[in-house]
Amino acid sequence: MMKQSNMRTGGRVLVDALGVHGVDTVFSVPGESFLAALDAFYDVRDSIRLISCRHESGAGFMAEAYGKLTGRPGICFVTRGPGACNASIAAHTAFQDSTPMVLFIGQVARHQQDREAFQEMDFRRVFGEMSKWVAQIESPDRIPEYVSHAFHLAVSGRPGPVVLSLPEDMLREECAVRDTGPYQVVRAAPSPGQLDQMRTLLGAAKRPLMVVGGGGWSVEAARDIAAFALANDLPSGASFRCQDVFDNDHSNYVGDIGIGINPALTARVRDADLLVVVGARLGEMTTQGYTLPAPPNPAQTIIHVHADASELGRVYQADLPVVSGMGQFATAAAALKPVDASAWSDWAKEARQDYVDWCKPDPVPGKLDMAKVITVLQERLGRDGLIVTDGGNFSGWGHRYYRYTRYRSQLGPTCGAMDYGVPAAISAKATAPDRLVVCFVGDGGFMMTGNEISTAMHFGIAPVILVINNNMYGTIRMHQEREYPGRTIATDLTNPDFAQYARSFGAFGEVVEETEEFAPALDRALDAGRVAVLELRIDPEAITTRTTLGNIRKQALAKKGG
């Protein structure tokens, strides 16, 4: 048969489809299973940047962070069983964090399927629980349809990850097929009746509290929800690692409701008579382990706004459940006639004061005071700052003391995954090169994906990485001391010299041991013009912003009568 000019390989149809949907960056570790797609990327290398990484968890987290930062799907390409398994942590994170992402996996050829061929896995089963949808494309002429569906699903309703499996022979096969148009974002909006009802509930309240968080926000939605709060003098908190959804300098911001919550804020959640929960799931972190509010029918009246109907009534029965996108809800709420808020003006003022008081640092053991480190960062970064955090106790300093004043100025795994920080910071700096991207990561987390410094060097991406070194898996040590005091095991770490490690990649590296050394070291790191690592050696006793490891052990022993 004569070759027609409109014939394209599956790989090319796929890469063209990415172009149609506006993809500008792809994160990957290459594999022979998707060579035909890689070859198609060669031809579009001026419009789609292909960032090849050193580990698929790094590539996956970079894609997730891209999705978190931009609201557009982060794109990741990995190979068959080994690559897919390595990348699965990013899919799980995107799922729990409601981040739009599309993970493409090279798969064994169609005629080899179901034989346990080399590296074969059934990705529909593997990713069933950690994606919104997983499918395998069996024919190249259906690629545009599948990719369009994947993009629509990733961003619509509650955003999340979608997985597409690509048999390698399918990517090589030629076909004639037309491209689709670009995807659109489809989200619900609150009804006028629901808005009326919300106004009525708000008008009847004496001690209302709003909690914002979750995925699907934007600069405009964050601005509108703040306007709604201001108009109704509504004290407003943010869920775990979603602090940048609400300007922390706003007179109605009252702090974050997650791990290490201000006890005064816990009391306010308890004493509130109305909770307006917008975007956050009423999940374990937001409810102090499903205790506050008490499920399923708490004392507080609950208005729960979420993009996904299946989250409403999941654990808590809301008095007013509303399915809505964040932008759609925030615009409507901001346009609502404000209620008379005089009944709770003292409550609102006091709640804000609680937060202001909470930001005053407690004393910190050791020569390097992390609270002061945050103050310096705040001064140096201003509104250009973008704080990226890994999972671990060191993140508590940034949660408590940093003021997030702009949507997106915080990127962190709300699912608590370690090893997120370094790749996410690299992705953030690649995506927003004008921002001052600073990553907080522990010595534990850094040793999981710190190798991606190599990727940053290769592509000329220059975030600043602060390795908060306490020579242990500190979080787990804390829990051990609390539950099994004095019987520590598996939590001590022997580390490399992190500055020297960084320098071995050609990166900038310095050690900071005292508070006064931090500001000049940060200046040098910001000016380095390449990825910079500052190892911050902290006292292992400085385990949280509020207490020491020794105190935790002492209290646990006293409780056990030891």
Contacts with ligand TPP by CB under 6 A lie at: 391-394, 416-419, 442-445, 468, 470, 472-476
Among residues 188 and 476, whose Cβ is nearest to ligand TPP?
476
Six token digits for residue 533: 């690592």
Q: Beta partners for 101?
A: 74, 161
Q: Tell me the closest approach of the beta carbon of residue 469 to Mg ion, in angstroms.
A: 7
Binding site partner of 339, from ligand TPP, Mg ion, none, Cβ cut-off 5-8 A by kind: none
Binding site partner of 416, from ligand TPP, Mg ion, none, Cβ cut-off 5-8 A by kind: ligand TPP
* Nearest CA-CA partner of 341 in 351, 353, 332: 351
Among residues 7 and 476, whose Cβ is nearest to ligand TPP?
476
Among residues 24 and 513, whose Cβ is nearest to ligand TPP?
513
C-alpha span between 117 and 484 (Å, rounded)? 46
* Nearest CA-CA partner of 477 in 525, 443, 517: 443
Q: Tell me the closest approach of the beta carbon of residue 330 to ligand TPP, in angstroms.
A: 31
Q: Tell me the closest approach of the beta carbon of residue 352 to ligand TPP, in angstroms.
A: 30
Cα 543 to chain center, whole Å?
23
DSSP state of 296: S
Cα 534 to chain center, whole Å?
23
Binding site partner of 189, from Mg ion, ligand TPP, none, Cβ cut-off 5-8 A by kind: none
Using an 8 Å Cβ cutoff, are 99 and 113 in contact? no
Among residues 190 and 392, whose Cβ is nearest to ligand TPP?
392
Among residues 161 and 474, whose Cβ is nearest to Mg ion?
474
Task: Find the helix packing angle between 370-381 and 515-527, rounded to 10°.
Answer: 30
Among residues 246 and 440, whose Cβ is nearest to ligand TPP?
440
Among residues 258 and 416, whose Cβ is nearest to ligand TPP?
416
Q: Tell me the closest approach of the beta carbon of residue 474 to ligand TPP, in angstroms.
A: 3
Q: Tell me the closest approach of the beta carbon of residue 213 to ligand TPP, in angstroms.
A: 19
Binding site partner of 275, from Mg ion, ligand TPP, none, Cβ cut-off 5-8 A by kind: none
Give the residues lining the site for Mg ion (CB under 5 A): 442-444, 470, 474
CA separation, residue 178 to residues 8, 40, 175 (Å): 10, 17, 10
Instruction: Indicate the residue whose CB is closest to Mg ion.
Output: 442
CA angle 557/559/560 to nearest 5° reads 65
Binding site partner of 391, from Mg ion, ligand TPP, none, Cβ cut-off 5-8 A by kind: ligand TPP
Binding site partner of 173, from ligand TPP, Mg ion, none, Cβ cut-off 5-8 A by kind: none
Q: Tell me the closest approach of the beta carbon of residue 361 to ligand TPP, in angstroms.
A: 18
Among residues 180 and 495, whose Cβ is nearest to ligand TPP?
495
Find all residues with CB under 8 Å of 460, minimum gap 6, and list them. 530
Q: Beta partners for 162?
A: 102, 133
C-alpha span between 184 and 158 (Å, rounded)? 14
Binding site partner of 445, from Mg ion, ligand TPP, none, Cβ cut-off 5-8 A by kind: ligand TPP
C-alpha span between 27 and 405 (Å, rounded)? 29
Let me know if 118 is exposed, middle or buried by CB neighbors in 10 A (0-12, 13-18, 19+). Answer: exposed
Q: Tell me the closest approach of the beta carbon of residue 419 to ligand TPP, in angstroms.
A: 6
Among residues 328 and 393, whose Cβ is nearest to ligand TPP?
393
Binding site partner of 419, from Mg ion, ligand TPP, none, Cβ cut-off 5-8 A by kind: ligand TPP
Q: Tell me the closest approach of the beta carbon of residue 540 to ligand TPP, in angstroms.
A: 8
For residue 335, give the H/E element and its range: helix 326-335
Q: Tell me the closest approach of the beta carbon of residue 186 to Mg ion, in angstroms.
A: 43
Instruction: Indicate the residue whose CB is closest to ligand TPP.
Output: 442
Among residues 88 and 480, whose Cβ is nearest to Mg ion?
480
Binding site partner of 393, from Mg ion, ligand TPP, none, Cβ cut-off 5-8 A by kind: ligand TPP
Using an 8 Å Cβ cutoff, are 327 and 185 in contact? no
Number of residues written out for the chain: 562
Six token digits for residue 188: 């619900």
Using an 8 Å Cβ cutoff, are 36 and 168 in contact? yes
Q: Tell me the closest approach of the beta carbon of residue 396 to ligand TPP, in angstroms.
A: 8
